[in-house]
């Protein structure tokens, strides 16, 4: 045992303590994954070394044969993993194995319910990594030395996985990391060659470097203990370089878990090799679940970039647009230089053409999923739909394709669920319908009952119901789909085109003519509050509604702009009344100008309320209404 100096005890960051506690209690049914997680880290560490050694070959001194070794000691009840990768300095060990650097972690931890079953799902989304060692071990020793550092600069990190850990500086002859797991009582099954081999085959076969286990050999004559011989147990070739037909689904799935740090299987993947002017392979995955930090600006995104099989960087963001930031995967290029940097990636025209090809691959994969696995696609939409809605604004070239992937709630869909696609909508559109109708609003309940839908209900025309905050903004980027234009039913002078018969139109014109007087009176009464007053042909039950001007901002956009501190141009609504409604008839016959004024303001305010808007002067509304109620009861 070497001498330990500068020994100190440090506390784990609060989030680490919470994670440790939770993991130990939530993941006991899936204990063996600790090995996958630790091997995954070791493989990353080797990748990093290989890359750094390109410019500093001396880092490989003491062994260029990169590998991971897993051994065990039945008597001592230990399992040991050793890699000759990049290693850690004392400071690295303190930060990497004592804190969690992911942004939003504290917030994420707050959302855990304490219900172990539910939380184990969540924790999977979070990715447990190194700390999973404590699922099976009650003490973990890590010995590490950074490649290139002096042998005297090794670190020994040790913890029982409770509140704190110890670090000391030690001598370590070889670079890289050795992790010794002291198995909990009852977990000695893992100190077994056969068991370890099976776990490695099951989860880590795809790891591109050799994972070795000691071979059982008989002692040579005259020797007490046999010499250790090592044997590679995994396939040890980069998965994406192999032909598709030879790769099993399980292998694709395990590889995904390694690169995505995810616990769950992916929903779908697409593996391709491109040859010709540009040469590269890509393996792209759609996760099943959204990561906890999907909406964090600094959250990791982008692909793992390899150049001719050598790992170059994580989170290479230049290969996919932002609205596809949830896609995980690998791209391995033969054209890029090994010393490519993020800055170069941003400017390189090669990257632009790879980006558009990869984007198309992802959209194709999603189209296929939507077509072949509609149930799965529903799940996808629930998790990632909001992000996909950023697409039309960001990616003009693929607007139509993205639009085809969008899903909405609708007057004919499942209650409140975003399941209706535009192609499906058009397929069941009414004969002669050449528009796609939609209505935006705050909540599903509000839009579903909106008076704007009355005429559509009467005629049996489907209307998409859009209630995500981003929807109105999204629709400002979509003008048409499959040659049919979008129409906001709360906007402008609704023209149902061919859906209104000639007789309907004629009748409407006649009614409008007969109500010209009422229109004028209302204009005077409502004055500055309205841009226009007109007879409505979209109402069957309600007395009146407020329509938005063709060019004006809708409520959602107004609220978004106001919240971001921008000045919003004032716009006035159009007051439309239903000539057949008894209240309107009453109004038309009202002789007293005062009562006419009160009643028209009440109708105006009610229309605003029904649209989910707030009243400019609620007290005046109450006063007027009460006045009428009093008159009514005498």
Positions 5 through 64 that interact with ligand ADP (CB under 6 A): 41-42, 45
| Residue in 83, 462, 471, 598 binding ligand ADP, rule: CB under 6 A | 83
* Distance from C-alpha of 474 to C-alpha of 470, rounded to nearest angstrom: 6
Closest Cα partner for 307 from 262, 354, 363? 354
Closest Cα partner for 519 from 586, 593, 571, 584? 584
177 touching ligand ADP, by CB under 6 A: yes
* Nearest distance in Å: CB 159, ligand ADP: 13
* Distance from C-alpha of 389 to C-alpha of 370, rounded to nearest angstrom: 16
Positions 128 through 147 that interact with ligand ADP (CB under 6 A): 129-131
597 touching ligand ADP, by CB under 6 A: no
209 touching ligand ADP, by CB under 6 A: no
* Binding window for ligand ADP (CB under 6 A); candidates: 122-130, 269-277, 425-433, 436-444: 122-130
124 touching ligand ADP, by CB under 6 A: no
* Nearest distance in Å: CB 395, ligand ADP: 30
Q: How many CA atoms lie within 13 A of 617 on its CB side?
A: 9
* Nearest distance in Å: CB 122, ligand ADP: 16
Tallying the residues shown for the chain, one arrives at: 634
CB neighbour list of residue 524: distance below 8 Å, 6 or more residues apart: none
* Nearest distance in Å: CB 125, ligand ADP: 13
* Binding window for ligand ADP (CB under 6 A); candidates: 127-135, 270-278, 291-299, 306-314: 127-135
Q: How many residues bind ligand ADP (CB under 6 A)?
A: 16
* Nearest distance in Å: CB 180, ligand ADP: 12
* Binding window for ligand ADP (CB under 6 A); candidates: 69-77, 126-134, 271-279, 483-491: 126-134
Q: Are 267 and 286 in contact (CB under 8 A)?
A: yes
Positions 426 through 485 that interact with ligand ADP (CB under 6 A): none
- Among residues 42 and 305, whose Cβ is nearest to ligand ADP? 42
* Nearest distance in Å: CB 88, ligand ADP: 5
* Nearest distance in Å: CB 44, ligand ADP: 6
- Among residues 131 and 252, whose Cβ is nearest to ligand ADP? 131
| Residue in 35, 85, 544, 596 binding ligand ADP, rule: CB under 6 A | 85
- Among residues 96 and 361, whose Cβ is nearest to ligand ADP? 96
* Distance from C-alpha of 382 to C-alpha of 406, rounded to nearest angstrom: 11
Q: What would the two tokens of residue 375 be?
A: 């149930």
* Binding window for ligand ADP (CB under 6 A); candidates: 80-88, 239-247, 292-300, 506-514: 80-88
* Distance from C-alpha of 462 to C-alpha of 457, rounded to nearest angstrom: 8
Which DSSP category does 347 fall into? H
Q: Sheet containing 532-535: which strands, arranged edge to edge?
A: 532-535, 574-577, 544-547
300 touching ligand ADP, by CB under 6 A: no
Q: Are 197 and 190 in contact (CB under 8 A)?
A: no
* Nearest distance in Å: CB 79, ligand ADP: 14
* 559-560-563-565 Cα dihedral, nearest 10 degrees: -110
* Nearest distance in Å: CB 304, ligand ADP: 13
Q: Are 259 and 328 in contact (CB under 8 A)?
A: yes
Which DSSP category does 492 fall into? S
* Distance from C-alpha of 347 to C-alpha of 294, rounded to nearest angstrom: 26
* Nearest distance in Å: CB 499, ligand ADP: 56
* Distance from C-alpha of 38 to C-alpha of 238, rounded to nearest angstrom: 18
| Residue in 124, 127, 554, 579 binding ligand ADP, rule: CB under 6 A | 127
Positions 389 through 418 that interact with ligand ADP (CB under 6 A): none
Q: Are 163 and 17 in contact (CB under 8 A)?
A: yes
CA-CA distances (angstroms) from residue 584 to 138, 368, 369, 453, 588?
78, 53, 52, 19, 6
Q: What would the two tokens of residue 138 be?
A: 């009650």
Distance, C-alpha 371 to centroid of its chain: 21
| Residue in 88, 330, 405, 599 binding ligand ADP, rule: CB under 6 A | 88
261 touching ligand ADP, by CB under 6 A: yes
96 touching ligand ADP, by CB under 6 A: yes
* Binding window for ligand ADP (CB under 6 A); candidates: 125-133, 186-194, 249-257, 608-616: 125-133
With CB atoms as reference, the residue minimizing the distance to ligand ADP is 129
* Nearest distance in Å: CB 41, ligand ADP: 3
* Nearest distance in Å: CB 191, ligand ADP: 20
* Distance from C-alpha of 156 to C-alpha of 141, rounded to nearest angstrom: 7
Q: What would the two tokens of residue 575 be?
A: 């007051």
- Among residues 259 and 545, whose Cβ is nearest to ligand ADP? 259
Positions 494 through 523 that interact with ligand ADP (CB under 6 A): none
In three-state secondary structure terms, 102 is coil
* Distance from C-alpha of 542 to C-alpha of 626, rounded to nearest angstrom: 21
- Among residues 42 and 324, whose Cβ is nearest to ligand ADP? 42
* Distance from C-alpha of 577 to C-alpha of 574, rounded to nearest angstrom: 10
- Among residues 306 and 408, whose Cβ is nearest to ligand ADP? 306
Binding site for ligand ADP (CB under 6 A): 41-42, 45, 83, 85-88, 96-97, 127, 129-131, 177, 261
């Amino acid at each position: 045992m070497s001498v330990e100096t500068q020994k100190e005890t440090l506390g784990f960051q609060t989030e680490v303590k919470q994670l440790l506690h939770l993991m130990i209690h939530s993941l006991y049914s899936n204990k063996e994954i600790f090995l996958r997680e630790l091997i995954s880290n070791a493989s990353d560490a080797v990748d990093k070394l290989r890359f750094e050694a390109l410019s500093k070959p001396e880092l490989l001194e003491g062994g260029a044969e990169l590998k991971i070794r897993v051994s065990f000691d039945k008597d001592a009840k230990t399992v040991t993993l050793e890699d000759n990768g990049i290693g850690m300095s004392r400071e690295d060990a303190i930060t990497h194995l004592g804190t969690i650097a992911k942004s939003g972690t504290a917030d994420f931890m707050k959302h855990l319910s304490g219900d172990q079953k539910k939380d184990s799902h969540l924790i999977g989304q979070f990715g447990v990594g190194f700390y999973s060692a404590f699922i099976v071990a009650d003490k973990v020793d890590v010995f590490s030395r950074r490649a290139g550092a002096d042998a005297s600069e090794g670190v020994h990190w040790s913890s029982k996985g409770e509140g704190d850990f110890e670090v000391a500086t030690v001598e370590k002859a070889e670079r890289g990391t050795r992790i010794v797991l002291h198995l909990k009582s009852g977990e000695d099954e893992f100190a077994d060659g056969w068991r370890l081999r099976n776990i490695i085959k099951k989860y880590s076969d795809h790891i591109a470097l050799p994972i070795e286990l000691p071979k059982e050999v008989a002692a040579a004559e005259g020797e007490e203990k046999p010499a250790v011989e090592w044997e590679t147990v995994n396939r040890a070739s980069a998965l994406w370089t192999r032909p598709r037909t030879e790769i099993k689904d399980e292998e694709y799935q395990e590889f995904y878990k390694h690169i995505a740090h995810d616990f769950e299987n992916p929903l779908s993947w697409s593996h391709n090799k491109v040859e010709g002017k540009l040469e590269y392979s890509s393996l792209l995955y759609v996760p099943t679940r959204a990561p906890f930090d999907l909406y964090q600006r600094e959250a990791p995104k982008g692909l793992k970039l390899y150049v001719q099989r050598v790992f170059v960087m994580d989170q290479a963001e230049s290969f996919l647009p932002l609205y596809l930031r949830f896609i995980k995967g690998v791209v391995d290029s033969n054209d890029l230089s090994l010393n490519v940097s993020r800055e170069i990636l941003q400017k390189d025209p090669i990257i632009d053409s790879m980006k558009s090809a990869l984007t198309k691959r992802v959209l194709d994969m999603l189209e296929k999923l939507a077509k072949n696995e509609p149930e799965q696609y529903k799940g996808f939409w629930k998790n990632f739909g909001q992000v996909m809605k950023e697409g039309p604004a960001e990616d003009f070239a693929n607007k139509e394709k993205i639009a085809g992937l969008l899903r909405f709630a609708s007057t004919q869909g499942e209650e409140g669920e975003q399941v209706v696609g535009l192609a499906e909508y058009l397929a069941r559109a009414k004969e002669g319908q050449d528009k796609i109708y939609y209505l935006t609003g705050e909540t599903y309940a509000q839009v579903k009952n909106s008076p704007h839908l009355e005429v559509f209900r009467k005629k049996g025309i489907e209307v998409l119901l859009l209630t995500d905050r981003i929807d109105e903004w999204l629709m400002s980027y979509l003008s048409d789909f499959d040659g049919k234009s979008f129409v906001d039913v709360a906007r402008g002078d609704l023209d149902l085109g061919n859906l209104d018969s000639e007789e309907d139109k004629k009748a409407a014109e006649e009614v409008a003519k007969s109500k010209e007087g009422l229109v004028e009176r209302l204009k005077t009464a409502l004055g500055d509050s309205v841009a226009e007053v007109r007879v409505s042909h979209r109402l069957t039950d309600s007395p009146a509604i407020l329509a938005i001007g063709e060019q004006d901002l809708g409520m959602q956009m107004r609220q978004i702009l106001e919240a971001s501190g921008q000045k919003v141009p004032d716009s006035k609504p159009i007051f439309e009344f239903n000539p057949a409604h008894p209240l309107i008839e009453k109004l038309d016959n009202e002789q007293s100008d005062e009562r006419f004024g009160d009643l028209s303001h009440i109708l105006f305010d009610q229309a605003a309320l029904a649209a989910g808007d707030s009243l400019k002067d609620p007290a005046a509304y109450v006063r007027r209404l009460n006045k009428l109620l009093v008159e009514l009861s005498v």
